[in-house]
Chain A
Amino acid sequence: MKALILTSVIGIATLFAGVFKMRNNSVWVPLLGLLGVMLTIVADWNTNISWYNNMVRFDNYALAFSGITIAALIFILTISIDHYKGAGNSIADIYGLMVFSVVGAIVMSSFSNLAMLFIGVEILSIPVYILAGSNRRLTSSNESALKYFLMGSFASGILLFGIALVYGATQTLDLDQIALLGPTVQSPMLTIGVLMVLSGFLFKIAAAPFHFWAPDVYEGAPGLVTAFMATIVKTAAFAAFFRLFSTAFVSEESAWFKVLWGITAATLLAGNLTALFQTKMKRLLAYSSIAHAGYMLLAMLTLNKQAGGAILLYAASYTLATIAVFAVMLLVSEAQGSDSLAKFKGLRKNNPFLAVVLAIALFSMAGIPPLAGFFSKYYLFAIALKSNLFYIVIVAIVASIIGAWYYLKSLSMAFLDSDEAPEKIEVGLPTRIVLIACVIGALILGIRPDLILHLI
């Protein structure tokens, strides 16, 4: 709870830092504040307290997922010190929106009432709609914002409709109560409600066939915002998704299990297959993030409490790798004027550091040992196999083979010899720190995955 309140206060403080002309130093307000929030999360560990008539419950699950989103935001803010250098005062508003969005993420990982879930989803989404359009002069940014807003509000509507139907069937919004009453309710209203909530979530995590918005929005939005969407928004959506479906809606499993099975398979294949043909890094990462959502959906299918740890590990390793790739991509596309894959050709020549970071991050995404990406996939598959989900694991493995192809293809670009190799790109100290932290994180989680796996 301290984390939630403190983050909200930091959001307001960040806005005012911009108003009172702190100019380029405004980033330190959220950065230091969020480090403080991390401390409160550590302090609250193992307390498991529910607040306000069980509206939210800060158990270890909530704290762990909040921690990951906050850590990701810290990384993104650190990169932004270099990236937004020289931007005007309105930069503080962007930071403020990011912090507010993370408030939503915290609510989404700690809710124990459907009303809080919806509020969390909205707090998370609305700032991101604005962030997507934060590059006001760029048509593509505006297009991205509008598309995201239209599609997002559509999905919110479906989600809310679902919540209303669930309330209608059970007369309660409390997760524990729903879990208790669920099996006794005969009305099809509950089933339909659960399925509509499911659809709403599938939109938020961009699972097929609800994923069409993601590539367009990711491509149009400013790079850092895309990184924000790919990591924080996705992690929060999964935190909420798993929290809801592994507790309150377990009794309705027969209704959603097979549907989700099919959607998982479709997402894995659609994400990885469509990525094959992409020529732009950002769009490629969009499809790859769809694919990664597919892997995490595998854990949802197991209905296994342990799966929470596996999702957490996956989210952590995916976040680390994604932020590293985005940071490298931002630097390269700024220097080269485009994020087309061809512009990465010969990166190794003058920028060996960036090339190596890119390599490690992409290797981790492709799931190559001993990096974090490998073990997080391994644990997901292992848990799925334990739950006898044999066929879907085969689909996932085939998908990850396809995935490895395009990751390695984009990587081989960086290591090819080319006459048009990018010149030496200046990497600022903050970005350098983040890149090194991501690489070290990917290695540590690869060697000791149990550090995170058994947290919750």
Chain B
Amino acid sequence: MSSSEILLLTCLLAPLSGAGILLIAGRSLPKSFASALATTSVFLSFIAAFLLFRQTGAETAAFKLNLFSWFTAGKLSVDMAFRYDQLTALFLLVITGIGSLIHLYSAGYMHEDEGHNRFFGYLNFFVFFMIILVTGANFAVMFAGWEGVGLCSYLLIGFWYKNSDYNLAARKAFVMNRIGDLGLLAGLFMLLNRYNTLDFEALQEAVKAVKSGDAYLTTATVCLFIGAMGKSAQLPLFTWLPDAMAGPTPVSALIHAATMVTAGIYLVVRNHFLFSLTPATLDLILYVGLATALFAATIGLRQNDIKKVLAYSTVSQLGFMFIALGTGAFTTGFFHVFTHAFFKALLFLGAGSVIHALHHEQDMRFMGGLKKKLPITWITFLIGTIAISGIPPLAGFFSKDEILAFLYAKNPILWGLALLGSLMTAFYMFRLYFLVFHGSYRGDAHTESHIHESPISMTLPLMVLAACSLIAGFIGIPEVFAAHSHWLNHFLGNLIPVQHPEGISHSTEITLMGVSVTAVLVMVAIAFRVYGQGKVVPVAPEEEKNPVFKLLAQKYRIDEFYNFLFVAPFNAISQFFGKIVDNQIVDGIVNAMGNLAMTTSGLLRLLHNGRVGTYLLAMTLGVILVLAYNLIF
């Protein structure tokens, strides 16, 4: 086994062993040990990932680690195999790097919680499955990771299981994801049916001869995309993500912002060779992404719960990533995943720090003026807000701008819509920022007296993430500024063909940047005018006068719509089947069968009377029967 393979195995097994110890023996371990163990195991994983990354250049060939043959059925043979290439390298860095920061943060955030050790067990387990997901060398292994992270997400959303609303949120997330998974499975089976393999490399070989726009492949990729829609919360399967905020805030940061929800993007990027053959699917992805980005952004404008705003912002940003994928710019899509991971994790953790300081108050109407009391949180949160709004030179600007450039090349009208979406992002993020940190405190006095900055274990991750949000964008400096400055394109170049926005001159590109940056700054100014002084305070959705704002505050009533369209009829049908078909008809038949078996049993039992003579007679009759059967027939 080579050193690279050992490193990859370490990367995989460290969180698994952490999870194993914590989930089996967690109850009897002291809290400090549990959090230290969990954090160390993920950090170990990060070190391994970093060492692997150090060995990897743009030209380095991918390597495969084949552990054992997982299962064989007919012509299909699936190996428990892992693959390490440039894409995996970057994903691993993000997962384990942000993962260890969030573990560290949780040590402070969850310190008082009674389920502390269980929490860290789940979190380690999640990291393990996430690594499986991005390292799997075939669809089957990836799917195992895919389902594993879904499971962990479910467990962590419902972590505070004593609250039944949270359990419902967890269930909703699970069901929505299952709908997506069904699509993913269907796509997977279609590929399997045609190419008899699930291995990514083999598939890439197999589709080489396929013509662009092949109908079968288009259907398969649409199915795969449905899977991505579920996991990455795209229209119409996005409603679970805002509800998933029921989980502890570190979970929201790690799972529902930085890593798991980007699995859908990973799926598409990993299989770019399939998607680039199916332009129709790419168009679908583009429009779904655009619609989601706009739709979620509008809802984000009128939310009062600090985490809900961030959740809708995540949905909207995921939409932007899909827009990039839809234009065929896979690297750009990944670029946004990369930058978004840092600033969104930062924002969530910052929000967590605020919530922690305010004793689990999440409503922004009862916040305000916190910048003096929480200085570190304030500064880092401001950096995150600037980054997500797309103001240069912070991380968000580079990736978002690249997406907009690709979109402009495709169609200027779409560019306009996307720009609108990004302006709304800037607006609601600064609205959030001003409401929380500026003005004066609006909560009760008792809470106010207890406001304090979070401990170092929580602020340290904030600072590291803020630093990353400042610089992460420089891995993709646009080529208009300097030739060969786009390191990411170069690094992934061998794996994913580099795309350039076609038909756009350098001057146009610079103009576009100028327009978008100016517009964003204008939006910030407006937000400051409205909310910066702390005079205007949002109202509860029920008291909202303006019908449009009310609709936005009520999230377009989309949950109620789904309830009416799917849940209610489904309940009616299951009532019918449960009460009548099952209780009356099926149970009747089953009970009749059971009674028959019992009656026969009672009769057969009588044959065993304990007398050797009877038994011998039965045997003799048996021999005679055996012989007679042949003599007669």
Q: Do any CB atoms of chain A lie under 8 A from CB atoms of chain B in the complex?
A: yes
> Which residues on A are within 8 Å of B, measured CB to CB?
146-147, 150-151, 154-155, 158, 191-192, 195-196, 198-199, 202-203, 209-210, 212-213, 215-216, 255, 258-259, 262-263, 269-270, 273-277, 402, 405
A273 touches B601 (CB 8 A): yes
B607 within 8 Å of A (CB atoms): yes
Of A150, A196, A273, A405, which one neighbours B623 at CB under 8 angstroms? A196
Do B598 and A277 touch (CB < 8 A)?
Answer: yes
* Residue B522 interfacial (CB < 8 Å): no
Residue of A nearest to B622 (CB): A209
Q: A270-B604, A273-B601, A402-B597 are in contact. Are A212 and B630 (CB under 8 A)?
A: no
B608 on the interface (CB 8 Å rule)?
A: yes
Q: Is B610 an interface residue (CB 8 A)?
A: yes
Instruction: Provide 12 A-B residue pairs closer than 8 Å at the C-beta atoms, listed in order of the A residue.
Output: A147-B612, A151-B612, A195-B626, A199-B626, A202-B622, A203-B619, A210-B618, A210-B622, A215-B608, A276-B598, A277-B601, A277-B605
- The distance in angstroms between the C-alpha atoms of A209 and B618, with both chains bound, is 7
Q: Is the CB of A212 within 8 A of B629?
A: no
Whether B614 sits at the interface, judged by CB under 8 Å, is yes
Contact with A along B606-630 (1 / 0, CB 8 A): 0110101011101101110111011
Chain A interface helix/strand/loop/mixed: helix
Q: Which B positions have Cβ atoms within 8 angstroms of A?
A: 594, 597-598, 600-602, 604-605, 607-608, 610, 612, 614-616, 618-619, 621-623, 625-627, 629-630, 633
With A209-B625, A274-B601, A277-B598 already in contact, 10 other A-B pairs whose C-beta atoms are closer than 8 Å: A196-B627, A209-B618, A209-B621, A210-B618, A216-B608, A258-B633, A259-B626, A274-B608, A277-B601, A405-B594
Return the contact of A155 from the options B600, B602, B619 (Cβ within 8 A). Answer: B619
A212 touches B607 (CB 8 A): yes
For the complex, would chain B's binding face be called helix, strand, loop or mixed by DSSP majority? helix
How near does chain B come to A41, taking the closest CB pair, in angstroms?
25
Contact A199 B612 (CB under 8 A): no
* A203 partner residues in chain B, CB cutoff 8 A: 619
Among B600, B601, B623, point to the contact of A158 (Cβ < 8 A): B623
A109 to B608 CA separation, bound complex (whole angstroms):
31
Residue from A154, A158, A195, A263 within 8 A of B630 (CB atoms):
A195
Chain B residues in 8 Å Cβ range of A199:
622-623, 626
The distance from the CB of B551 to the nearest CB of chain A, in whole angstroms, is 49
Nearest A residue to B607 by beta-carbon distance? A212
Interface contact A273-B604, CB-CB below 8 Å: yes
A255 to B627, CA, bound (A): 9
A213 contacts across to B, CB distance below 8 A: 615
In the bound complex, CA of A255 to CA of B619 (Å): 19
**Contact across chains for A216 and B610 when beta carbons are under 8 A apart:** yes
The minimal Cβ–Cβ distance linking A134 to chain B, given in whole angstroms, is: 20
Query: Known interface pairs A273-B597, A273-B600. Does A191 touch B630 (Cβ–Cβ under 8 Å)?
Result: yes
List chain A residues, Cβ under 8 A from B608.
Answer: 212, 215-216, 274
Cα distance A284–B594 in the bound complex, in angstroms: 18
A151 touches B619 (CB 8 A): yes
Q: Are A151 and B616 in contact (CB under 8 A)?
A: yes
Nearest residue, chain A, Cβ from B615 = A212
Cβ contact within 8 Å between A209 and B619: yes
Q: Inside 8 A of B625's CB, which chain A residues have their CB?
A: 209
Distance in angstroms between the alpha carbons of A346 and B619 in the assembled complex: 40
If A209-B619, A402-B597 touch, does A274 touch B626 (CB 8 Å cutoff)? no
- A382 CB to closest chain B CB (Å) equals 11
